[in-house]
């Protein structure tokens, strides 16, 4: 375990003891997890692809072709001795292409998804309404898609040499902003409008501006896939769900410049880490699959269940921030919906370097 505290060792030890004592007894997908985080096998065995979105009342949604699976917000089932959130409804969306995986919640209430036909959206408050193909958008394999802080949708066409486009749902305009010579997989937007993308085949990460200019691009040791930015705009931090069964944290210089300091906050799952998303509870939801040893994963490993069975079944793991002494959770991962500004008193602590525990985001929510 690694301690990131910047204050005295005795204070760090006391704070970590609080975190450990407050943890829920959830399943352990990652044998090694830094003490500033919690983990829970949220649902499995997963049906369909690894793209994720949420309803307005916080039910997790995943996509299986033109079907959208809706999961209970509370643990309502057991699988392999593990308490999980099971699907409570399957919504078939008329007109939704059965290709593609990635999904994102738009600020306009729609859910956007990338498909072979182009960027499509559907209304999670009206499941009977048909999907809408966004005019002028470009089709592709359908992996990377993310919501900008101003409501625009950035997405990748997912071809062998991917392009990144910026779509404005209000103006129905589609602009090419970046071209890569590799398949773009994970994609995420940050609180200041930066976009991070990962290279599926070449184990790279690239940070862009909202107009597509390259801020930083570098090789990584773990084949990163799904991504999250730090919740705080005051720091330059990214997180990645990796193909080799780890989760990494990248700490950059100001404005995401310079070579990042890379640490693994979770390791040892053995599963293939794929797309990821940040929920309205500001937790990092990471998909885990068996991909037969590809990119450093372990053949046959998808999920490490509570009954000591490890098998190839896919799942989604919820990674939460640490618990504070008053029972609140630290919100570490950025999401553009339901976002609150940092508390003024916390901003002062950040400026003085007094907040540690590896926690890069400073707003807090009530513990579940």
Residuewise pLDDT in 10s, the chain (368 residues): 333 222 232 333 333 333 333 334 456 999 999 998 999 999 999 998 899 999 999 999 999 999 999 999 999 999 999 999 999 999 999 999 999 999 999 999 999 999 999 999 999 999 999 999 999 999 987 799 999 999 999 999 977 889 999 999 999 999 999 999 999 999 999 999 999 999 988 999 999 999 999 999 999 999 999 999 999 999 999 999 999 999 999 999 999 999 999 999 999 999 999 999 999 999 999 999 999 999 999 999 999 999 999 999 999 999 998 666 676 667 899 998 754 333 323 333 333 333 333 333 333 333 33
pLDDT score at 203: 92
pLDDT score at 330: 73
Q: Which domain holds residue 199?
A: 9-366
**Which tens digits make up the pLDDT trace of 61-103?**
999 999 999 999 999 999 999 999 999 999 999 999 999 999 9
Helix or strand run (H / E) with residue 17: helix 9-22
Residue 1 belongs to a domain: no
Q: Is the dihedral of CA 137, 141, 143, 144 positive or negative?
A: negative
Q: Coil, helix or strand for 145?
A: strand
Q: Calculate the average pLDDT of the chain.
A: 85
**C-alpha–C-alpha distance, residues 158 and 195, integer Å:** 16
**C-alpha–C-alpha distance, residues 318 and 42, integer Å:** 6
Q: Which residues contact 41 (CB under 8 A, 6 or more apart)?
A: 26, 27, 29, 82, 84, 303, 305, 306, 315, 316, 317, 318
pLDDT score at 355: 32
Helix or strand run (H / E) with residue 20: helix 9-22
Residue 2 belongs to a domain: no
pLDDT score at 354: 31
- Closest of 119, 81, 101 to residue 226, by C-alpha: 101
**Which tens digits make up the pLDDT trace of 219-232?**
999 999 999 999 99
Report the alpha-carbon angle 125-241-316, nearest 5: 50
With b for 16 or more beta-carbon neighbours within 10 A and e for fewer, the 222-234 pattern comes to bbbbbbbbbbbbb
pLDDT score at 360: 32
**Which tens digits make up the pLDDT trace of 244-279?**
999 999 999 999 999 999 999 999 999 999 999 999
Residue 3 belongs to a domain: no
Q: In the numeric block, which tokens belong to residue 85?
A: 């959130």
Residue 331 belongs to a domain: yes
* CATH number (domain holding residue 221): 2.120.10.30
Residue 128 belongs to a domain: yes
Residue 184 belongs to a domain: yes
Q: Is residue 6 a contact partner of residue 356, using CB atoms and an 8 Å limit?
A: yes
Residue 69 belongs to a domain: yes
**C-alpha–C-alpha distance, residues 266 and 39, integer Å:** 10
Task: Give how many domains the chain has, as a whole number.
Answer: 1
Residue 262 belongs to a domain: yes
């Amino acid at each position: 375990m690694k301690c990131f505290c910047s204050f005295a060792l005795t204070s760090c030890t006391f704070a970590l003891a609080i975190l450990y004592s407050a943890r829920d007894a959830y399943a352990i997908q990652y044998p090694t997890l830094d003490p500033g985080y919690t983990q829970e096998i949220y649902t499995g065995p997963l049906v369909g692809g690894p793209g994720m979105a949420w309803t307005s009342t916080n039910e997790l949604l995943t996509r299986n072709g033109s079907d959208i699976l809706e999961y209970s917000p509370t643990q309502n089932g057991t699988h392999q001795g593990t308490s999980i959130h099971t699907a409570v409804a399957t919504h078939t969306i008329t007109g939704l292409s059965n290709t593609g995986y990635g999904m994102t919640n738009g600020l306009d209430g729609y859910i956007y998804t990338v498909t072979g036909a182009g960027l499509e959206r559907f209304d999670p408050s009206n499941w009977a309404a048909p999907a809408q193909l966004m005019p002028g958008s470009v089709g592709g394999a359908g992996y990377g898609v993310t919501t900008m802080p101003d409501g625009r949708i950035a997405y990748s066409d997912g071809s062998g040499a991917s392009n990144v486009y910026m779509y404005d749902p209000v103006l129905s305009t589609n602009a090419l902003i970046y071209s890569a010579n590799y398949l773009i997989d994970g994609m995420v937007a940050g609180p200041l409008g930066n976009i991070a993308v990962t290279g599926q085949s070449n184990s790279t990460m690239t940070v862009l501006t909202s107009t597509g200019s390259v801020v930083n691009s570098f090789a990584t040791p773990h084949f990163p896939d799904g991504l999250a930015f730090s919740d705080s705009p005051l720091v330059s931090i990214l997180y990645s769900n990796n193909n080799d069964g780890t989760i990494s944290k990248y700490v950059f210089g100001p404005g995401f410049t310079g070579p990042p300091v890379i640490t693994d906050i979770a390791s040892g799952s053995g599963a293939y880490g794929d797309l990821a998303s940040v929920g309205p509870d500001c937790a990092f939801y990471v998909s885990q699959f068996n991909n037969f040893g590809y990119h450093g994963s372990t053949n046959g490993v998808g999920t490490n269940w509570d009954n000591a069975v490890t098998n190839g079944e896919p799942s989604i793991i919820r990674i939460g921030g640490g618990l504070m002494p008053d029972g609140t959770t630290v919100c570490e991962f950025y999401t553009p919906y339901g976002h609150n500004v940092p508390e003024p008193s916390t901003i002062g602590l950040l400026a003085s370097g007094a907040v540690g525990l590896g926690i890069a985001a400073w707003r807090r929510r009530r513990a579940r």
